[in-house]
A and B are shown apart, each in its own frame.
Chain A
Amino acid sequence: MHFTLRIWRQKNAQDQGHFETYEVHDISPDASFLEMLDVLNERLLKEGKDPVAFDHDCREGICGSCGIFINGRAHGPLRNITTCRLYMRHFQDGETITIEPFRAKPFPVIKDLVVDRSALDRIIQRGGYISVNAGSAPDANAIPIPKPAADRAFDYATCIGCGACVAACKNASAMLFTAAKVSHLALLPQGQPERRERVKQMVMQMDMEGFGHCSNTGACAVECPAKIPLTAIAQLQRDYIWANLTPDPYTR
Chain B
Amino acid sequence: MSDVLTAPSPITTSPLSWREAGLLEQNRCPSGDLEKRWTRHKDNLRLVAPHNKRKLEVIVVGAGLAGASAAATLGELGYRVKVFVYHNSPRRAHSIAAQGGINAAKNYRNDGDSIWRLFYDTIKGGDFRARESNVYRLAEVSVKIIDHCVAQGIPFAREYGGYLDTRSFGGAQLMRTFYARGQTGQQLLLGAYAALQRQVAQGNVQVFYNYDVLDIVVEEGKARGIIARNLITGELHRVAAHAVVLGTGGYGNAYYLSTNAKLSNATAIWRAHRRGAYFGNPSFVQIHPTCIPQSGDYQSKLTLMSESLRNDGRVWVPRTPGDKRPPQSIPESERWYYLEEWYPSFGNLVPRDIASRAAKRVCDMGYGVGPTGRAVYLDFSDAIKRWGREVIYQRYGNLFEMYEEITGESPWEVPMRIYPAVHYTMGGLWVDYNLMTTVEGLYAIGEANFSDHGANRLGASALMQGLADGYFILPYTIGDYLASQLFVKLSTDTTAFAETERQTQDRINRLLSAKGTHTVDEFHRELGKVLWDTCGLARNAQGLSQAYSEIRNLRERFWREVAVPGSGAEFNQNLEKALRVADFLELGELMVIDAYHREESCGCHLREEYQTEEGEALRNDDKYAYVAAWEWGGENEPPILHKEPLKFEFVKPSVRSYK
Binding site for B on A (CB under 8 A): 11-12, 27-28, 30-32, 34-35, 38-39, 41-42, 45-46, 48-51, 53, 55-65, 81, 85, 87, 89, 110-111, 114, 116-118, 120-121, 124-126, 128-141, 143-147, 150-151, 153-154, 157-158, 160-161, 184-185, 188, 190-191
Known A-B contacts A114-B571, A126-B201; A133 and B76 likewise in contact (beta carbons under 8 Å): yes
Inter-subunit contact A60/B92 (CB<8 Å)? no
Residues of A within 8 A of B157 (CB): 150
The 5 closest A-B pairs by CB, nearest first: A144-B162, A129-B194, A137-B151, A154-B155, A137-B147
Residues of B within 8 A of A45 (CB): 519-520, 563, 565, 574
Query: Which residues of chain B from 67 to 115 have a CB within 8 Å of any chain A CB?
Result: 69, 72-73, 76, 87-94, 96-97, 106, 108
In the complex, A45 Cα to B517 Cα: how many Å? 8
Query: Which residues of chain B from 116 to 160 have a CB within 8 Å of any chain A CB?
Result: 144, 146-160
Can you list 15 contacts pairing A with B, beta carbon distance less than 8 Å?
A12-B570, A45-B520, A45-B563, A50-B566, A57-B261, A58-B97, A125-B200, A130-B151, A144-B161, A144-B162, A147-B158, A150-B156, A153-B153, A160-B96, A190-B151
In the complex, A158 Cα to B181 Cα: how many Å? 10
Q: Which of B275-283, B293-301, B315-323, B643-651 contacts A (4 or more CB under 8 A)?
A: B293-301
| B656 touches A (CB below 8 Å) | no
Could you tell me how many residues of chain B have their Cβ less than 8 Å away from some Cβ of chain A? Answer: 80
Closest to B209 in A: A118
Residues of A within 8 A of B506 (CB): none
Inter-subunit contact B148/A56 (CB<8 Å)? no
Inter-subunit contact B405/A85 (CB<8 Å)? yes
| B475 touches A (CB below 8 Å) | yes
Inter-subunit contact B571/A53 (CB<8 Å)? yes
Query: Which residues of chain B from 187 to 244 have a CB within 8 Å of any chain A CB?
Result: 187, 190, 193-195, 197-198, 200-201, 207, 209, 232
Residues of A within 8 A of B263 (CB): 57
| B163 touches A (CB below 8 Å) | yes
Closest to B299 in A: A35
Inter-subunit contact A184/B153 (CB<8 Å)? yes
A56: contacting residue among B146, B155, B262, B402, CB under 8 A: B262
Closest to B573 in A: A53
Inter-subunit contact A137/B150 (CB<8 Å)? yes
Closest to A28 in B: B296
| B348 touches A (CB below 8 Å) | no
Residues of A within 8 A of B262 (CB): 56-59
Inter-subunit contact A140/B565 (CB<8 Å)? no
CB distance from B255 to the nearest CB of A (A): 16
- Known A35-B298, A130-B152; 11 more pairs at CB < 8 Å: A57-B261, A63-B93, A64-B89, A117-B88, A124-B197, A128-B194, A131-B198, A139-B147, A160-B96, A161-B89, A188-B153
| B624 touches A (CB below 8 Å) | no
In the complex, A229 Cα to B424 Cα: how many Å? 35
Inter-subunit contact A35/B300 (CB<8 Å)? yes
Query: Which of A11, A27, A61 has the most B CB atoms < 10 Å from its CB?
Result: A61
B106: contacting residue among A131, A140, A185, CB under 8 A: A140
Query: Which of B299, B472, B573 has the most A CB atoms < 10 Å from its CB?
Result: B573
CB distance from B114 to the nearest CB of A (A): 16
Residues of B within 8 A of A27 (CB): 298
Inter-subunit contact A62/B97 (CB<8 Å)? yes
In the complex, A154 Cα to B184 Cα: how many Å? 11
Inter-subunit contact A147/B298 (CB<8 Å)? no
Query: Which residues of chain B from 476 to 520 have a CB within 8 Å of any chain A CB?
Result: 517, 519-520
Binding site for A on B (CB under 8 A): 69, 72-73, 76, 87-94, 96-97, 106, 108, 144, 146-164, 180-181, 183, 186-187, 190, 193-195, 197-198, 200-201, 207, 209, 232, 261-263, 295-296, 298-301, 303, 402, 405-406, 408, 471-472, 475, 517, 519-521, 563, 565-566, 570-571, 573-574
In the complex, A158 Cα to B155 Cα: how many Å? 10
B296: contacting residue among A31, A89, A129, A190, CB under 8 A: A31
Inter-subunit contact B183/A62 (CB<8 Å)? yes
Closest to A112 in B: B571
Inter-subunit contact B565/A48 (CB<8 Å)? yes
Inter-subunit contact A62/B155 (CB<8 Å)? no
Inter-subunit contact A138/B147 (CB<8 Å)? yes
Inter-subunit contact A59/B261 (CB<8 Å)? yes
CB distance from B209 to the nearest CB of A (A): 7
Inter-subunit contact A144/B163 (CB<8 Å)? yes
In the complex, A126 Cα to B202 Cα: how many Å? 10
Inter-subunit contact B94/A141 (CB<8 Å)? no
In the complex, A111 Cα to B572 Cα: how many Å? 9
Inter-subunit contact B183/A158 (CB<8 Å)? yes
Residues of A within 8 A of B151 (CB): 130, 132, 136-138, 140, 190
Known A-B contacts A31-B296, A58-B261, A128-B194; A134 and B475 likewise in contact (beta carbons under 8 Å): yes
CB distance from A252 to the nearest CB of B (A): 25
In the complex, A87 Cα to B144 Cα: how many Å? 42
In the complex, A3 Cα to B164 Cα: how many Å? 50
A118: contacting residue among B88, B144, B153, B162, CB under 8 A: B88
Residues of A within 8 A of B565 (CB): 45, 48-51
CB distance from B74 to the nearest CB of A (A): 10
Known A-B contacts A51-B573, A62-B186, A118-B209; A134 and B153 likewise in contact (beta carbons under 8 Å): no
Closest to A133 in B: B76
Residues of A within 8 A of B147 (CB): 137-140
In the complex, A53 Cα to B572 Cα: how many Å? 8
CB distance from B251 to the nearest CB of A (A): 16
Inter-subunit contact B200/A134 (CB<8 Å)? no
Inter-subunit contact B295/A46 (CB<8 Å)? no
Inter-subunit contact A110/B232 (CB<8 Å)? yes
Residues of B within 8 A of A30 (CB): 295-296, 408
B164: contacting residue among A48, A133, A137, A140, CB under 8 A: A140
